[in-house]
Amino acid sequence: MSERKVTIEKLKWLTTKEAAEYLRITIGSMKNLVYRDKVRPRKLGRLNRFKRDDLDRMLEASIKGG
């Protein structure tokens, strides 16, 4: 029987603080992006988590003017 190995990069979830650091913005600015529906957090209990791929897509869309 073979085991499935999943790399951590494929499952990268970030806290609000980590997401803000990744985007090089303040935590307040990160919260504003959520409030303005620019990025969607996923809930883990009461905590927000952000998928790195979603953040990358948001950046790409803002660069392209979308």
**Is residue 3, in this structure, part of any structural domain at all?**
no
Domain count, the chain: 1
**Is residue 32, in this structure, part of any structural domain at all?**
yes
Kindly report the pTM of this predicted structure: 0.76
| Domain coverage including residue 16 | 11-64
**Is residue 2, in this structure, part of any structural domain at all?**
no
Helix (H), strand (E), coil (C) string for the chain: CCCCCCCHHHHCEECHHHHHHHHCCCHHHHHHHHHCCCCCCEEECCEEEEEHHHHHHHHHHHHHCC
pLDDT tens string 8-63: 444 589 999 989 988 999 999 999 999 999 999 999 899 999 999 999 999 999 88
